A and B are shown apart, each in its own frame.
Chain A
Amino acid sequence: MSHFAFSRDPFTPERYRALVADPVAGGYASFEGWVRNHNDGRGVVRLEYEGYEALGVKEGDRVVAEALARFPIARAHCVHRLGLLEIGDLAVWVGVTAAHRDAAFAACRYIIDEVKTRVPIWKKEHYADGDSGWINCEVRSADAPAGSVPP
């Protein structure tokens, strides 16, 4: 079973917590990413996540598998929301169990950091002034040459 999933509907961590339960576990570390009402000095009213799901599940599963290989942990899982989210909504959940807490914290951090930079998920913020934008895809003309980068 994959250690990573997308959810089009709102979910609670309690729904997935049992997936990381293990008799050898003495500690459970989790991370919840929530939708906040500001970014880069601008008021945010809601946001949208779009995912390339077929590749995203594979890459997310690879990230969690790396954490399982790298840290002495028992189980780990990650779920990421897609669709339209409101302020305060749960956007991503990571859960890790381990015999001891140090490894659980470290693996949890590893998973969320890698998921943010590697899994094909895009975030569009809708601002209080009516504008909107895809995060990390807005290149100022001073920063980049005209046209596109690759190959």
Chain B
Amino acid sequence: MAVIRIEYFAVLREHVGRAAEEIRTTATTVGELYAELDRRYAFPAVGRVKVAVNDEFREWNAPVRDGDLVVFIPPVAGG
């Protein structure tokens, strides 16, 4: 069991109803973690989502470890 901090932004923050949470999970990759949370929250279809671990972009097969900060990044729209 790992305890992971998740931060939500924009459309995902509004959908989940909070900006951050800590969850206990058996997921070993960020992809598994996303799938677990998607089952819980039924994330809206927003297009291609990216992921960051500890404030760096990572691939979906990147490992998650106890104490990590994970952020799912829906399509961006700066400028």
Are A122 and B76 neighbours in the complex by a CB distance under 8 Å? yes
Which residues of A102-151 are within 8 A (CB) of B? 112, 115-124, 134-139, 141, 144-151
- Note all chain A residues with C-beta closer than 8 A to B35: 151
Q: Taking the nearest CB of chain B, how far is it from the CB of A111, in angstroms?
A: 10
A-side binding surface: helix, strand, loop or mixed? mixed
Residue A50 is within 8 A (CB to CB) of chain B in the complex: yes
Report the minimal beta-carbon distance from A144 to chain B, rounded to whole angstroms: 5
Residues of A within 8 A of B75 (CB): 136-137
B46: CB under 8 A from chain A?
yes
Q: Count residues of B near A (Cβ-Cβ below 8 Å).
A: 34
User: A24 within 8 Å of B by Cβ?
Assistant: no
Q: Are B77 and A150 in contact (CB under 8 A)?
A: no
Residues of A within 8 A of B9 (CB): 50-52, 120, 122
Contact (Cβ within 8 A) A135 B49: no
**B49–A149 CB distance below 8 A:** yes
17 contacts between A and B (CB under 8 A): A50-B9, A50-B10, A55-B57, A115-B78, A116-B79, A120-B9, A122-B74, A122-B77, A134-B77, A139-B46, A146-B45, A147-B38, A147-B42, A148-B43, A150-B60, A151-B29, A151-B35
Binding site for A on B (CB under 8 A): 7, 9-11, 13, 29-31, 34-35, 38, 42-49, 51-52, 55-57, 60-61, 71, 73-79
- Residues of A bordering B, CB below 8 Å: 33, 49-52, 54-55, 58-59, 80, 91-92, 112, 115-124, 134-139, 141, 144-151
